[in-house]
């Protein structure tokens, strides 16, 4: 049997107390190295591009462009915490943003009702993914690839390959277009959802149980954790958040088209995988994911301002994904089987 304590690779207080200053720096480098690199990149680009990079306009642009990716990365990391992967965060957003527009323009449904319908459908697709993975016992990669392809096909059928356009209410546009304290409101959405997820994953039994399942489903089951219920719940949460992101994308683009959406899948996975290499290396975590999205946004923005071609962003994302998976795999191997002794789970998750 195994306990459900954290199996991430961050150093403990006892370990740090025994180390010299130089050893502490080396020990903390894998934990906060990506954060330090992010700060260095911001400083470098600010010095080299003083008139364009360190500006409020550029900050607004980065937040507006990358908020969708940040939300999808958070959606993807929920099943990852339980050791599963959900590809429908990228495929599903194609259908969700189309429905958020077409249900208003084609059927005249009020936009608040449309938002609820899309969120319900996203949750339902997440439940289907969870059922396929936990009940039908299909590998999560294959199951979500299949359901994601079906969702994308439905989007193509629904639109007939054409754009969905029409006049939408100002309230719907305001979901993405509002500015608050000089910054896009989508940035505050990301921050709020990140805080909620951080509290849930780090300070509630739900989060500790998900991490325990991700570390060892058999050990989690032996500790009395209902693995099936929590894994299905993780997929439902992921589907809900992906659908919410689709609504915000529709509010941003103001048109629906089946060719838009899949380009968000790769950077979303990069953010989640790369996030597992920092703050709490060895497992996906909220602030690691946020740091990963920020470094991607900063790196791509700086390179593009230097005159990088249109292919720079997908190339940067692809290379970063390979590096992130390699680092995450190394962290998992280093973690090995070092799991804490058995402790019956209580209300506090110990």
DSSP 252-301: HHSSB-TTSSGGGHHHHHHHHHHHTTSSSTTS--HHHHHHHHHHHHHHHH
The predicted-structure confidence for 313-343, as pLDDT tens digits, reads as follows: 777 767 766 766 666 565 556 555 444 444 4
Token pair for residue 216?
């060892």
Mean pLDDT, residues 159-186:
87
pLDDT band (50, 70, 90) for residue 244? very high
The CATH architecture that domain 34-40+56-302+309-335 belongs to is Orthogonal Bundle (1.10)
Q: What is the mean pLDDT of residues 238-242?
A: 95
How many angstroms separate the CA atoms of 326 and 306, rounded? 29
Other beta carbons less than 10 A from residue 296's beta carbon: 23
Instruction: Please tell me the predicted confidence (pLDDT) of residue 232.
Output: 95
Q: Kindly state the DSSP code that residue 190 receives in the 8-state scheme.
A: H
Domain ranges within the chain, ordered by starting residue: 34-40+56-302+309-335
- SS3 at position 61: helix
As a whole number, the mean pLDDT across the chain is 82
Mean pLDDT of 233-239: 95
Asked if the model's pLDDT at residue 4 lies above 60, the reply is: no
pTM of this prediction? Answer: 0.83
Q: For 177-190, write each residue's pLDDT tens digit.
A: 888 888 899 999 99
């Amino acid at each position: 049997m195994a306990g459900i304590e954290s199996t991430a690779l961050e150093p403990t207080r006892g370990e740090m107390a025994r180390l010299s200053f130089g050893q502490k720096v080396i020990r903390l480098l894998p934990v906060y190295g990506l954060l330090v690199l992010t700060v260095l990149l911001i400083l470098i680009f600010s010095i080299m591009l003083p008139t364009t990079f360190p500006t409020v306009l550029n900050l607004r642009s980065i937040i507006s462009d990358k908020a969708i990716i940040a939300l999808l990365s958070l959606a993807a990391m929920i099943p990852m915490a339980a050791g599963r992967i959900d590809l429908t965060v990228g495929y599903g957003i194609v259908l969700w943003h189309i429905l958020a527009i077409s249900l208003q323009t084609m059927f005249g449904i009020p936009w608040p009702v449309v938002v609820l319908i899309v969120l319900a459908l996203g949750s339902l697709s997440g439940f289907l993914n969870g059922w396929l993975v936990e009940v039908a016992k299909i590998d999560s990669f294959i199951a979500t690839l299949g359901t994601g392809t079906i969702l994308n096909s439905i989007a193509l059928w629904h639109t007939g390959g054409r754009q969905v356009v029409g006049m939408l209410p100002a309230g719907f546009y305001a979901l993405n277009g509002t500015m608050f304290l000089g910054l896009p409101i989508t940035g505050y959405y990301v921050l709020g959802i990140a805080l909620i997820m951080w509290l849930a994953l780090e300070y509630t039994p739900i989060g500790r149980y998900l991490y325990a399942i991700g570390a060892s489903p058999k050990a989690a089951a032996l500790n009395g954790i209902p693995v099936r219920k929590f894994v299905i719940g993780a997929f439902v949460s992921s589907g809900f958040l992906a659908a919410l992101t689709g609504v915000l994308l529709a509010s941003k683009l103001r048109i629906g088209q089946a060719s838009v959406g899949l380009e968000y899948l790769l950077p979303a996975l990069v953010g989640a995988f790369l996030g597992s290499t920092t703050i709490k290396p060895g497992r996906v975590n909220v602030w690691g994911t946020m740091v990963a999205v920020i470094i991607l946004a900063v790196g791509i923005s700086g390179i593009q301002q230097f005159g990088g071609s249109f292919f720079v962003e997908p190339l940067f994302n692809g290379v970063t994904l390979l590096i992130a998976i390699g680092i995450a795999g190394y962290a998992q191997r280093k973690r090995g089987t070092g799991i804490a002794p058995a402790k019956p789970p209580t209300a506090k998750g110990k």
